[in-house]
Structure 1
């Protein structure tokens, strides 16, 4: 749950903020209903402004599409970015590294005075940093450059909505 300070700066409405949390919970529940998919994969569904990012790994294209199909069952989703890699699930070490990279990107954004870091969602999978948020093109470009300079970042993918 975000703090009040985050909500003040978030460009989403309070209702959309709550919707995103509900979408993420429903997505996890839907994915868990498919035992084969859940057991063989590592999937993180992230929602921002009713747009879902599927990040992680699945063993084959069939399960990749099945995961997306389960997410499509959720109402109020405007778009799904299926960024699931067809590969073995990432190791605990890889996930720890991704968490470290996410933290470094967030810290770099927070210390850059030209960006309001609370408006940007940062997700990392396999060293790929995904940036989401409701931002201006200038904010998107600045955030992308900040993220690219962080050690451990393999690539930056912008999934912004522009205002």
Structure 2
């Protein structure tokens, strides 16, 4: 028969063993999650139609543009900068037209920027609740795009500002129309603006680079165009029904408050 001391020692050893196993399991799980996250990030880079160099350039332009614009504009301005394939999209609010033009001029002066789409509104800065709603809409739209088998959500950058959703990407005409149609039917989206650079179907499988100082990729449309949106034949709709949001055309240097397509 074991002594009370012996039983206590056995319990201590068992507890330490279980604790060590749990800690090891947690450590291994953390490593697995880290590896999975790294693998997921690699997969996103691999499926992006931009080259790795172009993606790196876009990130550098975004950081530089946001920093320079913030320095040159009043504190009352609220500026968001999105970059895709060296095309810069400016959204947010500025106090006057002079600030709006200053932001665009500053963005254009950054090295390797090919074009600027200025969607800044001359109005008071949006509220916290409005920005939270925009973040929510971006998530809803991305989830909706994932549900469509004819397109890859990885080929689109989604930006929401005051209920207006901007779609960027290197896409074919059909892909662009499908994504805009899907986005227009997401509950809460007030308007959809295409900021695409179009490519031919044969280019869809290969990465495309935008060379510094050069026009948009070969066979890609520099000026975004729009297809017939929405398409009533699309059957995938959110549970919350609403009339499809209007889809607008936006071109570099021109706000999207013009033609609804």
More helix per residue: 1 or 2?
1
Q: Could you tell me which of 65, 68, 71 is aligned with 1:33? A: 71
Give the superposed CA RMSD: 1.3
Q: Secondary structure at the match of 2:75?
A: helix
Q: Secondary structure at the match of 2:160?
A: strand
- Which of the pair has the greater relative contact order for Cα pairs under 8 Å at 6+ separation? 1
What is the alpha-carbon distance in structure 1 between the residues aligned to residue 74 and residue 107 of structure 2? 13
Q: Residue in 2 aligned with 1:52? A: 88
Q: After the TM superposition, which residues 68-147 of structure 1 pair with which residues of structure 2 at under 5 Å, given as runs?
A: 68-147=104-183
What is the alpha-carbon distance in structure 1 between the residues aligned to residue 69 and residue 195 of structure 2? 22
What is the alpha-carbon distance in structure 1 between the residues aligned to residue 191 and residue 122 of structure 2? 18
Q: Of the two, which has the highest radius of gyration?
A: 2
Q: Secondary structure at the match of 1:89?
A: coil
**Cα displacement string for residues 39-72 of structure 1 (whole angstroms, at most 9, x for unaligned residues):** 1111001110000000101011011011111112
Count of equivalent residues: 161
More strand per residue: 1 or 2?
1
> After the TM superposition, which parts of structure 1 deviate over 4 Å for at least 4 consecutive aligned residues?
none
Q: Secondary structure at the match of 1:132?
A: strand
What is the alpha-carbon distance in structure 2 between the residues aligned to residue 123 and residue 32 of structure 1? 19
Q: Residue in 1 aligned with 2:241? A: none
Q: 1:38 offset after TM fit, Å? A: 4.4
What is the alpha-carbon distance in structure 2 between the residues aligned to residue 38 and residue 8 of structure 1? 39
What is the alpha-carbon distance in structure 1 between the residues aligned to residue 46 and residue 115 of structure 2? 25
1:159 maps onto 2:195 in alignment:
yes
Q: 1:28 offset after TM fit, Å? A: 1.3
What is the alpha-carbon distance in structure 1 between the residues aligned to residue 111 and residue 76 of structure 2? 26
Q: 1:32 offset after TM fit, Å? A: 2.5
Q: Secondary structure at the match of 2:174?
A: helix
